[in-house]
Amino acid sequence: MCITELEGTMLGKLKSLTGIGASGTRAQHEQSAEPFQPDAFEFPPMKPLSPPAAENDDLMRPVYEAVEQDLRSAGLLR
């Protein structure tokens, strides 16, 4: 396969996408690109996220409440 037959192949498509070939070398193509603009990446600071309030951390709490209720109903606690 010669170079002229490569134009219709995947290698030819890759060659045209990278800018190597008729338009010159890749380095010449990259130099003609727009210069980097640092202000394009300036974003306002993000608000720090905090986790939600903890729930069900004390698994024994329902047990304590049930015992307290039973003791109150028995008249042992006021």
**Domain spans in the chain, listed from the N-terminal domain onward:** 1-34
Radius of gyration of the chain (CA): 36
Q: In this predicted structure, what is the pLDDT of residue 44?
A: 86
Local structure of 6: helix, strand or coil: helix
pLDDT at 3 (0 to 100): 56
Q: pLDDT for 21-31, tens place per residue?
A: 555 555 555 55
Residue 59 CA to residue 65 CA, distance in Å, equals 11
* pLDDT computed for residue 66 by the predictor: 96
> Can you list the residues of the chain whose pLDDT is less than 70?
1-8, 19-34, 36
In sequence order, which residues have a C-beta less than 8 Å from that of residue 32 and are 6 or more positions away?
none
**CA max distance for the chain:** 102
